[in-house]
Structure 1
């Protein structure tokens, strides 16, 4: 069976693949196309506008040719005025269509950004806990925010690189060949040189963009981590250290930003130089041809006008290819995150109430080498109150994570009413479980909204009933707005006991079979703890209660006691443990992060 926790290599966004030296990433194009395909009508309309724009560019060059030819060959004022008018109309229509095209593509970009962002956010939430424990929250935020924008921009750059600029280029080159094929050959001879330069720049730009995005996400990770843990930062006097880490990461970011900006900015001067050399050579050849009577001044003027017009599509095409590397880099990071989700569908749904949970010879390892849990077998039944105790690192939290389906077993089976959890829909299983943790997270919303978060479809009556079952009556009577009272960020306007009761109500607002109390009363005074535990006692006949705590007081409210030692489980009675603790004068030690 595969290790449930990813290795260090697979738990990080991908670095640049040195073997992939292609300027155009086929996988990246396939990813972008799956989002662009539903809007292919918009793309088709944009392509039609691009063709018209290309034709207008050619018409402008042809008009210049006609004007110059009329001036040098004694054309009438009416003829000159006609072509001047045609040129003006071409300029006006060209400007208007460019605005229309940009508006359509920008709207397309915004829609595709939204769709990628929603899909990525959904997948990140569905990813296993192992994924989240190996990547910072800030890095995920950067992935959802910055990388999505860069990836979606690839649709615009792809359109520009494959359709818009090539269409204009082909129109103008075709006109040049019609007017003077020998002069036009100069542009085609220098085109491979431009292509080689752009390819060289693009390959290095992709490296720089990948490094920039990686450091950008890490910098955001440091920021979010410091802000969300500001109490710990202040308590240990780590302000200067965290600021230094942010500054250090920022220096890396500046380095790669400068590198990426330099590579991107090289495209414009390189294109200008090659285009300038081409026009200079064309002018010299045109002079020689005119002197020997091989061409006319009007044909040369039109040809040179078209050559000048080539500057825009050539520069745009080159820049699009380079900027496309940012999009491909972002797509690689996004597809890495999308590939972590278990995509099995059609699995049987767990229906409540669940009567029994069985562990058969279950073992678990985070790294594939050292077992945290080893050969555990036990039965947990509906209506029981089970205490789960053990020293720090014994595996209490890990066992809870297996029972709640956050991690799969490395070996052995976890059975839900006799059915292997690995073959069931784990989301439906989690809907049968209510969890109250040591630090329950409350949103900056009303008490009602926080409770309803446990069941978005719950009515006001169901929310009020859950609040009563959780013992919130006294608290709500004291608050002038009752359930409508806003709790503040992280529930800062409520006491610790009140936050626990709201969290308990949130767990009870939907029908559940198991209630998990993970150090849920550890921060409460004895009187408040006893009050909360009495509420749990009243719920016990309706469900299985799993209580993890380092406080001996919970033992009076439990029917069974499971002691975790060295990755194994030993069952005893709460009375025996209580007697042993009283004799030794000790208390149960709290569990650590993997306790």
Structure 2
């Protein structure tokens, strides 16, 4: 009857249904209950035929009692089966939704940074929450309606043929018209559903950006502009929702008018048959009752088409993320470096965030175990890119990054990263306690380990002054702490796992001079005995580095100690002189 969608448009829906396989037992029970509920709902009109023909006309009182009790009993059964199928399908639907949401969340966590940075974080949030929630509708209510109303439709057609095949033939000439209207509207509903979810994602993205950047918004007094952006996207979402409502409303209205027209034709034709003696009065009443009941399954099935189309649009958005190719693939038989020594080497590494422009051009260097190396250079020279490649957030387009002589593309990534400590320029803290943040990523971390890390980072004295100590909540992103305190917590978080490699990515660039000196002391303590890579903005903080790499245009322009580079009078000397307010010989 219904041409719901083209074959390829069902792919996402059938893919969603595969998530039901682990719960197939409950799903089978639910389908059985749906069928029994549908059967119980289509028998009463047949009993009404007997009431008219055998009770009202032939005056059989005993049969009247039986028929009345039977109707009540049937509806009790219908209610029981309907409750069972609703409970079971909701249970299965929720389980499947949780499975998909967990898989989507896990996949999002593992996507490459290039993919994550290419979209707004609010878009990912919308797909994890809104799009997955939309699937609940097609997995529970849509499936229930499809099975129950589908069985009801087939059962009613069977009774109609049994009652009078001529009238059923007249009816069958009208139903395809309704099916055609549903088919024409279904493709429109799918596209409208995709627009609705995209608009909702934009609303979530703008809200998330504004809330996470509230200080910037207030600092620049742009509350009205942000409100305007949010309102504009909300209005676009409203228009998309109303467009979908219009399509659904027109579809259901057309179907209902077509079916009522069919009922009018049947009354005219059937009435003539009763007058001619070809049909009993009870048979006509039962036939018309079944036609009236036929309106509900057809209307519901048209609504199911709408739900499936919109749900498929959400499924498409979900599977777009799940099918996203990971640009940092996992090795088939990964090698585990445990314990790691900490030797780092770049061998003719070429890397660019896009193929049109390389950030690193044939970069090569070796860092010995326990060596402290500083990397300096102008903005865009590739300093932070080196740190990202060591962490294997990206893979180079050419050459190799090796640790302990092993290409890190062949290394088990989790065990590898757990042996590296990172202190970023912006020390993002998680909502939770100081203990949670310092021990983040370390399973079964002890109180003694937390204290040692906090002492090494120079934050323990401050923690002792707090009423709840390590159990003090830091607030979202650590808003209750100062910049220096957040940075020292980040240092403690990096060293609590006793990493073999420690990366300091411009860890003091956002701090004032006094706080920078305090944090620098904590950094020196943390780097002791470890392979340390310091990406520096202020050159005064790296004077005691074993070696300094000066980057320019993705390659090492100079290399040496602080004193050697100053004596050479090259690019490093110019950078150091500019940072200390001195003139270079060329400028003097």
Q: What TM-score do you get using the length of structure 1 for normalisation?
A: 0.91
Out of 364, 373, 379, the position equivalent to 1:386 is 373
Match of 1:352 in 2: 339
**Distance in 1 between residues matched to 2:137 and 2:536, nearest whole Å:** 51
Find out whether 1:55 has 2:42 as its counterpart. no
Cross-structure match for 1:326: 310
**Cα distance between partner residues in 2 of 1:265 and 1:216:** 21
Q: CA deviation at 1:162?
A: 4.8
Please show how residues 60-209 of structure 1 align to structure 2 within 5 Å. 60-156=44-140, 159-160=143-144, 162-209=146-193
Q: Give the superposition deviation at 1:23.
A: 7.4
1:478 matches 2:465: yes
Q: How many angstroms does 1:251 deviate by?
A: 2.5
Q: Deviations over 1:216-254 (max 9, x none)?
A: 111211111122112222333333322222222222212
Q: Give the drift of 1:531.
A: 3.3
Which piece of structure 1 moves more, 224-233 or 522-531?
A: 522-531
Q: Is the counterpart of residue 585 in structure 1 residue 585 in structure 2?
A: no
Q: Does 1:573 align with 2:561?
A: yes
Between 115-124 and 503-512, the greater mean CA deviation after superposition = 503-512
> Does structure 2 retain, via aligned residues, the 8 Å contact 1:354–1:513?
yes
Corresponding residue pairs, total = 570
The CA deviation at 1:115 is 1.3
Secondary structure of 2:401's partner?
strand
- Kindly indicate whether the alpha-carbon contact (under 8 Å) linking 2:13 and 2:315 is maintained by their aligned counterparts in 1: no
> 1 CA distance for matches of 2:541 and 2:188?
62
Give unpaired runs (5+ residues) of structure 1.
1-19, 590-595
Match of 1:530 in 2: 517
Q: Distance in 1 between matches of 2:8 and 2:357?
A: 44
1:555·1:575 contact (CA, 8 Å) conserved in 2? no
Q: What's 1:295 paired with?
A: 279
Provide the residue aligned with 1:9 in structure 2: none
SS class of match (2:386): helix
Q: 1:21 to 1:54 in 2, by over 3 A?
A: closer
Summarize the alignment of residues 286-435 of structure 1 with structure 2, pairs less than 5 Å apart. 286-340=270-324, 342=326, 344=330, 345-435=332-422
The answer to whether the Cα contact below 8 Å between 2:163 and 2:287 also exists between their aligned partners in 1 is yes
Decide whether the 8 Å contact of 2:457 with 2:526 is kept in 1: no
Superimposed CA distance per residue, residues 402-456 of structure 1 (whole angstroms, 9 cap, x where no aligned partner): 1111111011111122222222233332222111112211223211111121313
Equivalent pair of 2:438/2:493 in contact (CA under 8 Å): yes
Q: Which segment is superposed worse, 545-554 or 422-431?
A: 422-431
Equivalent in the alignment of 2:543: 556
Given that 1:63 and 1:83 are in contact with CA atoms closer than 8 Å, whether structure 2 keeps it comes out as yes
One of 235, 241, 262 as aligned partner of 1:251: 235
More relative contact order, 1 or 2 (CA 8 Å, 6+ apart):
1
Give a deviation string over 1:268-326, Cα, whole Å, max 9, x none.
Answer: 21221122112112111211111211111111222222221112211111110111111
CA deviations over 1:543-580 (Å, ceiling 9, x no partner): 21111121122122311111111121232322244565
The TM-score, its normalising length taken from structure 2, stands at 0.92
Moved more, 363-372 or 247-256: 247-256
**Helix, strand or coil: the match of 1:367?**
coil
Q: Tell me by how many angstroms 1:582 deviates.
A: 7.2
Q: Which moved more, 1:220-229 or 1:346-355?
A: 346-355
Q: Which deviates more, 168-177 or 469-478?
A: 469-478
SS of the residue corresponding to residue 520 of structure 1 reads: coil
Q: Measure the CA separation in 2 of the matches of 1:73 and 1:450.
A: 83
Point out the more displaced range, 580-589 or 466-475.
580-589
Unmatched tracts of structure 2, length 5 or more: 582-588
**Residues 456-501 of structure 1: CA deviation (Å, up to 9, x unaligned):** 3323332222222322232123223221222223222222222111
CA distance in 2, matches of 1:178, 1:328: 38
**Alpha-carbon shift at residue 588 of structure 1 (Å):** 9.0
Q: From 431, 439, 448, give the equivalent of 1:444.
A: 431
